[in-house]
Amino acid sequence: MAIGTLVLLRHGESVWNAQNLFTGWVDVPLSEKGTAEAIRGGTLLREAGILPDVVHTSLQRRAINTAHLALDAADRAWIPVKRDWRLNERHYGALQGKDKKQTLAEFGEEQFMLWRRSYDVPPPPIERGSEFSQDADPRYAGLGADLPLTECLKDVVTRLVPYWESEIVPDLRAGRTVLIGAHGNSLRALVKHLDGISDSDIAGLNIPTGIPLRYDLTEDLAPTTPGGTYLDPDAAAAAISAVANQGR
């Protein structure tokens, strides 16, 4: 059977995106704007005639609720769902809960960008038991030594690719249209993997909230259009530069 279509959907704006705070694994809800973005994402799916057969999400409510709102708008709220921590946002370590602008002012451009966009430099680890740590969160109780206290993008690739290969690729190979509801940095990790983007070039790639990104893949899982296709390219371009400029 032909390989199915893949659609990546970053959650709509969260209340912490709106406040410009590093979020990572903190389970913040969507803002009102983010809720509207999620519904519009579903409208774009419907208008493009894309009918997801299965949805994969992280364990975080902004991705779970975005995927649900989008599927509801596309009249596909009934499809099977699989959720896994491996699709979670990158763990932002001790930066979780910190203001991006203040962090930039305190540590300077170079350190700020190393933490935010370098491939292999993680922020300092979060302290166990501190306000924005997830070490006591019951949804991660089974992770044991896998529970991160900080992550760089490379760590996200390492934990995400096994899930891609074991859970998502089989759905695609069965001819299904797969929606992934996830996050800015977990989707950057997946796009890096799919498009073969270099460790240095990935720093320049940003993913906008709430705009579906469609990939058609060959049998070898190579994108037929490198970088995929946003269902609303103009809105995506504007939103991408806004993400890139956060903190400024």
Ligand X SMILES: O=C(O)[C@@H](CO)OP(=O)(O)O
Q: Which residues are annotated as a binding site?
A: 10-17, 23-24, 62, 89-92, 100, 116-117, 184-185
Nearest distance from C-beta of residue 4 to ligand X, angstroms: 28
Among 22, 163, 164, 215, binds ligand X (CB under 6 A): 22
Residue 248: CB minimum distance to ligand X, A: 12
Least Å distance between CB 246 and ligand X?
6
Question: Helices in 49-152 by DSSP H: which ranges?
Answer: 61-73, 100-107, 109-117
Residue whose CB is less far from ligand X, 28 or 168: 28
- The yes or no reply on residue 148 touching ligand X (CB under 6 A) is no
Q: Work out how close the CB of 198 gets to ligand X at its nearest, in angstroms, rounded to a whole number.
A: 19
Catalytic residue among 56, 68, 89, 183: 89
- By CB under 6 A, residue 17 contacts ligand X: yes
Percent of residues in the chain assigned helix, strand, coil, to nearest 5: 45, 10, 40
Task: List the one residue from 56, 68, 116, 192 that touches ligand X (CB under 6 A).
Answer: 116
Measured distance CA(199)–CA(119) in Å, rounded: 6
Convert residues 157-186 into a mask of x (bound to ligand X by CB under 6 A) and - (unbound): ---------------------------xx-
Q: How far is the CB of 183 from ligand X (least distance, A)?
A: 6
| 133 is an interface residue for ligand X by CB under 6 A | no
Give the one residue of 5, 23, 60, 88 binding ligand X; rule: CB under 6 A.
23
Q: What is the DSSP letter of 30?
A: B
* DSSP run (H or E) holding 233: helix 233-244
Do the beta carbons of residue 153 and residue 119 sit within 8 Å? yes
| Total Cβ atoms within 10 A of residue 144 | 7
Task: Give the whole-angstrom CA distance, residue 101 versus residue 32.
Answer: 23
Give the range of 21-29, 118-126, 173-181, 218-226 binding ligand X by CB under 6 A.
21-29
Task: List residues forming the annotated binding site for substrate.
Answer: 10-17, 23-24, 62, 89-92, 100, 116-117, 184-185
Q: Could you tell me which residues are beta bridge partners of residue 44?
A: none
Q: By C-alpha distance, which of 25, 48, 24, 20 is closest to 232?
A: 48
Quote the tokens at residue 63. Answer: 């991705």
Q: How far apart are CA 86 and CA 126, in angstroms?
A: 19
What's the gap between Cα 159 and its chain centre? 13
Q: Which is nearer to ligand X, 31 or 177 (CB)?
A: 31
Q: Which is nearer to ligand X, 57 or 177 (CB)?
A: 57
Q: Which residue has the tokens 């038991």?
A: 129
Catalytic residue list contains 11 = yes
- Judged by the rule CB under 6 A, the positions of this chain that interact with ligand X are 17, 22-24, 89, 92, 116, 184-185, 243, 246
